Structures are given as C-alpha cells and as structure tokens.
A and B are shown apart, each in its own frame.
Chain A
Amino acid sequence: MVVTGLTDEAPLVRMRGIGKQFLGNAVLRDVDLDLRPGEVHALVGENGAGKSTLMKILAGVHRPDAGSVELGGSEVAFGSPREAQAAGISIVHQEFNLLGDRTVAENVYLGREPVRRGQVDRRRMEADTAELLDGLGERGISPRTPVRRLAVAQRQVVEIVKALSTDARVLAMDEPTAALADHEVELLYGLVKRLRERGIAILYVSHRLREVFDLSQRITVLKDGELVTSKATAELTPDQLVRHMVGRPLDALFPDRAAEPETGAVRLAVRGGGNARLAGIDLELRAGEIVGLAGLQGAGRSAVARAICGVDPFTTGTLELDGRPVTIGSPRAAIRHGIAFVTEDRKGDGLALRQSVRDNALLVRRAAFGRARGLGALDLAALLRSVTLVARGPDQEVRYLSGGNQQKVVLAKWLAVEPHVLVVDEPTRGIDVGAKKAVYDLLRGLARGGVAILMISSELPELIGMSDRVLVMHEGRLAGELPAGPSEEAVMTLATGHATVEAA
C-alpha cells in the first residue's frame, strides 16, 4: 500500500501533554497527538482507554486539565463544541442526530439556516447542500429527500456533509462504520479517500482493525489513558497493533479449535428448511463444534438464526433435535427445547437496560420457565463469574455497563437456561478486544462442554478464527460449506455466488 499524505509538513492540529481527570480519576495522562492535512489518523484502544475523551477535548466538549492544543500553529482553548466548529473542527457522531422527517438540506443546515428577507432561503440551502454532496461524489442523494428514506450509509454521508458545511478542516469520526452493513462500508472508504484529497485532517476512532489498516496513514494506540505508541500505519502489522492494544498477539485471541474426538452426535438438524426469506436450508450442528455462518449482509444469515430459534420459524422442511423431530413455532418453544439465541442487537432485543444485572441474567429463566420448572438451582454468582462479568454487583443497572460487559450479561442470561444449542449473531459487535477474547473463550468453553454453536459474524477473520466449519449463504440459500480455517477469498467466492457447490 502506498502511503500518501505522510508528510513532514507542519501538523494542522498539535496536541501536547494532554491530561484529563473525571472526579479524581485520571482518564488521560500526558497524551500527544498530531493531525496533518490529508491524513487519516486512527485512534485505537480498548473501551475506557480514553479515545472518546481525547476526541471530545479536540472538539471542545471537554477542556483538558493539562497540556495544550494548537490549531494551525496557534494555541486554542475551546469553551464549547460551537467554538471548535467555528475554528474548523467538527465531530461525526457514532449515533446519528438527524431528523427523519426533515430533508437532507434542512438537516445539514439545522439551526444555521441561511436567511433571506427574514425567511429561510430554501433555494440557497438546497443548492449549497447539493454542491457539498457533489464535492464528495455523492450524486445519489437529493437535498430534498427526507432523511427517513435514506439508507444508513447515506445518513452517514449526510452527517459528514453536515460537519463539512461548517468549513471543517478537521473531522473527528467516532466508530463511523458501527451502524453500516458490509457493502456500505465500501462507500465510506471512498468518501474518506475524497475527504483526504481535499486536505482534510481526519481523526478516526474504530474497533475494526481492518478499517484502521485500510484507511489510516498513522495509528496512535491508547491504553488506560496513556499513549502506547504512535506510528505510521505501514510500520505496523495487525499482530503488533493488537499486542500494543492488549499486550498479546492476534492469533492468541482465538482459542484452539475442537479436536476431532470432541465433536459428538448431531444435536440439531434442519432438512429442507424454508420460509419467506429462506429456501432449501440443510444443516447439522454437532455437539462440541462451532459452525460459522458467513454471507453478505441480507444473504439470510440472521434469517436462519431467527428460524431455528422460532422468531420467524421455518414454514417448510423438518427440524430435529438430538434425532427427534420437533416443531419450533415460537422463541418459547425453542428455549424449552434447549435452543438459545444471542441476538445481533444487544440494546434493542437483548437487554432490559434499566433493570439490574440480576434481573437481566434471570430474564430468560423466568420468562420461559416460570418457577424454574425443569431446571436445576441456579448459582447466580457463579454464573456471572463464568462469563467474567465486571460490574459493581448484581444490583447494578446494565445500562451503566460497558458494551463488553453488557454482552456478557446477555450471554449469562442464555447460559442460565443451560442450552444444548447456542445461536450467536454478531456476538462481538462494538465491544473491545479484551471483551472479544473473553467471548471467544467462553464460546469455545461451552462447545467443549457439549454445546452445539452456530456463530454469525460480519468480521471474517473472527468467523474463520473461531469456526470448526464454515457455512456460506447466498441469497437465502446455503451456497456451500468450507472446512476449518478457510481463506477469506474462499468464503467470499461462495458468498458472492461465484461458486455454488464446494466439497467440504
């Protein structure tokens, strides 16, 4: 990869010795950061490493307790995000702050509408927005479209245009791909490239290592509020980066696969399963194995999970559990048959955020089994220890936990019903590397204990690293099966429909 933009020219932003405390806790200590025009500078680190705080200091949300911020060579001290914006520093938020019923132009100029003769100058607003969109090569979005009708990736573009409309020279992007589907990520790549070409300095915060390597010219690693290293991307390998972030190499993230004798009898078998979204699904899950389910967004991966778990059941075909045919018509039926489903959307589907760790961990047990009929006694403390949950106690509300710990609570509530089959959809989305490792270990440990696991993940390295077999989907059907450790190319060939049959 050719490293461009890595120049010796003076940095546009120079942060030196930044320190910040919250309530006596040092969140940042003596951190330096330089942003150069036309350069993407990735900021990585585990949750709580201080990435967001550093970004917020840059954007004027927080004031540093120590250190200095220079913009274009002169020292600045922003009292508010508005002041930072006026100076040309904008932040693109992780969660979108767009109004669905307003048009693109109205959103871009929200609160700063151009005025002509006492009225909003709609024509100019739309023309300016069109010009900005054009400048980014985004001709597919009309300034007059209500935001509600845009795809998630397009909304991201609107957020970026909104940031640019203030003549930003520095853009801070906080997990910009968190809400995007795979093919939409490509669009973002193109957009970031064009922003660079315009000489904008970009601070890019992401958990996804691949993006960091694809997009950035420089990487700064934070750990526990301190600067670990800051290097040109070309000088780092993913392995080294992970070691900097967590102190261990990438391969060590994934536990050893199942040895042959460990996989046992077929626990779950689907034959000819189909419904509105799926057709001809044949699959078997054996005790002790982790089966990866790959495919492009919309290929039906989640639909398979939802069908097996009774959310949107199969309407054709048969389903057998431990050799016996069963009918799974609801989540309740699935759970009572020992099938657990860790859903993709942790906050939307998984957790009752305002309830305690205890109530969430016991939720499935109480919901599906009433007075614990058919289940043994539960040792809550042991359960929470087994998922390595870090919380102040079982009474803490889960909304106060980090994403990784929230996910551990989700796992705990399913493990509380002692499932035989575990379906996990994007189990590590949006959680930091340390928590990912914990989830991987936990899943492998369950498999060793005889649980059959079906794992869906958009992150191919993760899926490949974890799975004993990989099933690949294409347009609602299974396109093929690959043995342990396939190449990403092999998976993508099947996923894109270039090959339909593959010997396992």
Chain B
Amino acid sequence: MTETLPTSRKSRRVRLADGTGPVLAVLAVLLVALAFAGPAYSEPAGYLALLKRAAPLMILAIGQYFVIVSGGFDLSVGSLVTAEVVIAARLIDGDEGATVWVIPLLLVTGALVGLVNGLITTRLLVPSFIVTLGMLLVLDGAVFLWTGGSPRGALSEAFRVVGREGFEVPLLGAVPWSVLLLAALVVAAVLFMRGGTGRMLVAIGDNETSVRLGGGRVERLRTLAFVLSGVSAAIAAILLGGFAGVSAQVGDGLEFRVITAVVLGGVVLGGGRGSVVAAMAGALTLEALFSLLNLLGVAGGLESAVQGVIIIAAVAYASVGRIPFRTRRST
C-alpha cells in the first residue's frame, strides 16, 4: 500500500522541484522587489520593457528545453546568435528590400546548424556536449575569420522593428512586437509539448529504450530537438540584432545563461523531467534578477558569478530532491 501513497514530506518536495512552483514563487518575489527598487516598475511599461529584454533569452530557453529534456545539451546557441546577427548585417547592409529574404535565410541557417548538431550527435554518437562545444568554436572562428573582429554592414529599419518597436494598446501603452512574438511562441511551444511529438521528447529523456522498442524514431526526434534549438537561436538573433545592434559579441555567454535559465526552471539535466513553461519562467526570472541587481547598483561583473551560483544551487536542489526516488524501495 505504501507505494501508492507517496505523501511523505520528502516526496512532496520532489514534486515541487519538478513543477513550475518554485521558479514562479521566486519570480513573483523578484517582480515585487523590482516594484520597490525602481520607479520604472510602478506601471506596466516597466514590466513590458523587462519582458522585451527577456524575450530573446526566453525564446532561446524554449529551444534549449527541447534539447535538455530529451537528454542533451546545446552549447552552440550563443555563437550561433552572433553568427546570425553578423550574417544579417552583412547581407542586408542597409538595404530595406533585402529584409524579406534575409529573415527566412537566417531561420534556415539556424535549422541547418541544429541539423548538423543533431546528426553528429545521433549518427556519429558523439555526446551532444562535445558536438555543440565544437560547433561553438567553429562558429566563433568563422565569424572572426569573416569579419576580422569588427562586423561590417548594417541592419535595415524593417529588420530592427521586431526587436525595437511596439504597438499601442489601451491601458498598457506601447506593447513591444517582441512580446507579441514571444506570446505566440509560448502558445506554440505549449501546444507542441502537449502533442505526441513533445511527449516523445520527454520520454526519450526518461527512457530512450522504451521509446525505441515502442517503435519511436529516437534519432529523428533528438535531431528535431537540435533543429528547433537552432531555429530558436535564429529568432533570438533577429530580436537581439534589432534591440542591441550589430556586434561580434552580441551572443557571448548566452549558451550558459540559457542553460542556467532552463535549470532554474526545474528542468532536470539529463532529461525526462520539467516543463517548457517553467524553462521560460526560469529565463524571465534570471532577467528579472539581473535587472534588480542592476537597480541596486551591483556591478555588472557579478552577473556571471550569480549565474554560476544559481546553476549549481538549482541542480543541487533537484538532485537532493530526487534522492528519495533512487533509494525508494517497494514493499
């Protein structure tokens, strides 16, 4: 009978760690703290600006979630974002008309990089950690080779609209286009994760053999996760290019920031556990935390230290919470 009643204190902690509970609680505290710390957060505009800043990381978090929940890592997204922005600037070079074909090209590039990551991981059986680390270095090198360190060209106004501008909504004021795009992607991601393919990704992270014996095409599904991560990097690059402008450092460190965000959202490294909404909430929480630190006048250099502490603490919390499961014995 005991095994049907997992209601001991420890196992309840497990379920909290798995769900969106903790990260949402932390997020709520941060949002309230922001309101006290800065006058900008006394009205919706402040929070909309936060969302706008956080949108690229949240979109990256969706892609990274797919990879992590199916049991992998994607470390290449940061340099992919840089590469995409540099490519966009070079190809558009101020030509408004070029925007129309450059944006699809960027999405395809992102998908192709993901495809290469996925195929090498699943067909050549190189751990994704290594594959995407290699891809990170290759893209970094390629960008440097191509630009000599200072990217040339410029983005068109049309390209920058999504990352920069907004539209007027009564009561809320100017709602950034990026927030609207984010909302659409959230809905799409949630629907995808409720569907068969999404559930299969989680199942692969939990028990790959069961999916394989169940007739699932594990290699294809895992490759798909990398492709989606690549596409999410391309979308994030479009937002960041518009928001932050062209530089060869625009994506620096994003891979670690997004993994921190996803882990903060309670998604378990190694896969099989966690929700896409929690991963995005993790990204928003991280941005809110950095905004708060900024408002409190904490030096920017501390950001990476904070990130380091968070990633270790979040994984430790999830691991300790799982111990009762490992040592759990049936009657």
Contact = CB atoms under 8 A, between A and B. Distances in A.
- Do the two chains belong together in a single complex? yes
Interface of A: 22-23, 25, 27, 47-53, 94-95, 311, 330-332, 334-336, 341, 343, 348-355, 359, 362-371, 390-392, 399-403, 413
Contacts of B200: 363, 366-367
B21 to A, nearest CB: 16
A368 B216 contact: yes
B325 A350 contact: no
B165 to A, nearest CB: 38
B215 A355 contact: no
A390 to B, nearest CB: 7
A348 B209 contact: yes
A23 B214 contact: no
A371 B214 CA distance: 15
B13 to A, nearest CB: 15
Contacts of B6: 400
A352 B331 contact: no
B209 A349 contact: yes
Contacts of B196: 362, 365-366, 370-371
Contact of B5 (A25, A52, A94): A25
A310 to B, nearest CB: 9
B325 A399 contact: yes
Given A25-B1, A402-B330, A403-B330, A353 B206 contact: yes
B202 A355 contact: yes
B207 interface: yes
24 contacts: A22-B2, A23-B5, A25-B5, A52-B330, A95-B329, A331-B212, A334-B215, A348-B209, A349-B209, A352-B206, A354-B273, A355-B202, A355-B272, A363-B203, A364-B215, A367-B214, A367-B215, A368-B215, A369-B215, A391-B4, A400-B3, A400-B4, A401-B3, A402-B330
A335 B214 contact: yes
A402 B4 CA distance: 7
Given A48-B2, A48-B3, A402-B3, 17 more contacts: A23-B7, A25-B1, A25-B5, A47-B331, A48-B331, A51-B331, A52-B329, A53-B2, A311-B213, A349-B213, A350-B213, A362-B199, A364-B215, A399-B325, A400-B3, A401-B3, A403-B330
Contacts of A47: 3, 330-331
Given A352-B272, A354-B272, A370-B196, A364 B214 contact: yes
Contacts of A330: 215
A402 B2 CA distance: 9
Contacts of B1: 25, 27, 48
Nearest to B18: A354
Contact of A331 (B2, B215, B325): B215
B210 interface: yes
Interface string B240-276: 0000000000000000000000000000000011000
B331 A413 contact: no
Most chain B beta carbons < 10 A, residue from A94, A335, A363: A363
Most chain B beta carbons < 10 A, residue from A27, A94, A355, A364: A355
Contacts of A359: 199, 202-203
A352 B4 contact: no
B98 to A, nearest CB: 38
B211 interface: yes
B70 to A, nearest CB: 12
Contacts of A52: 329-331
B4 to A, nearest CB: 7
Nearest to B204: A352
A354 B203 CA distance: 9
B199 A368 contact: no
Interface string B1-38: 11111111000000000000000000000000000000
B206 A335 contact: no
Given A354-B272, A370-B196, A335 B3 contact: no
Contacts of B4: 390-392, 400-402
B271 to A, nearest CB: 10
A308 to B, nearest CB: 13
B3 A367 contact: no
A484 B2 CA distance: 40
Nearest to A414: B214
B151 to A, nearest CB: 42
A351 B209 CA distance: 9
B273 to A, nearest CB: 6
B14 to A, nearest CB: 10
Contacts of A413: 214
A265 B329 CA distance: 46
A289 B72 CA distance: 44
A349 B215 CA distance: 12
Q: Which 6 A-B pairs have the closest CB atoms?
A: A368-B215, A367-B216, A366-B196, A352-B206, A332-B215, A335-B215
B115 to A, nearest CB: 20
B203 A352 contact: yes
B213 A352 contact: no
Given A353-B207, A355-B203, A403-B330, A336 B3 contact: no
B331 A23 contact: no
A173 to B, nearest CB: 14
Most chain A beta carbons < 10 A, residue from B213, B215, B273: B215
Nearest to A46: B331
